[in-house]
Amino acid sequence: MSTDTGYVPGFGNDVATETVAGAPPIGRNSPWQVPFGLYAAQVSGNVFTAPHCGNRRSWLYRVRLAASHDAFVPCACAPFERIQKFQSRLCSTRWAIESPALQPDYDDCRANFPTAARRK
């Protein structure tokens, strides 16, 4: 009788999948050099104050850095037509602002974090 179920049983298991054999590093999650010139990226759904034993995370090994991808374009595929009404900005927002008019004028800032904290 075969016990191979075709899936990984159990909850909370640590598993690894690979498209190319040897791509995920063995025995560690973020080595200095990742095989095949990939970039390691950690995705976490927990707040940083969660207990260590409760942290769940995924390590992804990407071909390109997340910040270097091209701009996203809407997909006209049938499965996604329902969610087109939900507009979200998928592009990186913490990099340079496109319009010079939207750049903050730091000369006009009267309070920075340390001075605002002292005022109470």
Question: What does the domain layout of the chain look like in residue ranges?
Answer: 35-92
Structure tokens of 95? Answer: 């990099």
Out of 54-58, 72-76, 98-102, which region has the weakest mean confidence (pLDDT)? 98-102
State the average pLDDT for the chain: 68
Q: What is the pTM assigned to this prediction?
A: 0.47
Model confidence at 103, pLDDT cuts 50, 70, 90, reads low
Query: Of the candidates 63, 64, 44, 65, which has an alpha carbon nearest to the alpha carbon of residue 55?
Result: 44
pLDDT in tens, 15-60: 777 888 888 877 776 677 888 888 888 877 777 777 777 777 778 8
Of 30 and 103, which is predicted with more confidence? 30
Q: Which has the minimum average pLDDT: 59-63, 81-85, 98-102?
A: 98-102
Tokens of 101: 């008019």
* CB-side neighbour CA atoms (13 Å) of 116: 5
CA distances from 75 to 25, 62, 72, 80, 115 (A): 33, 22, 9, 7, 47
Contact 59, 42 (CB under 8 A): yes
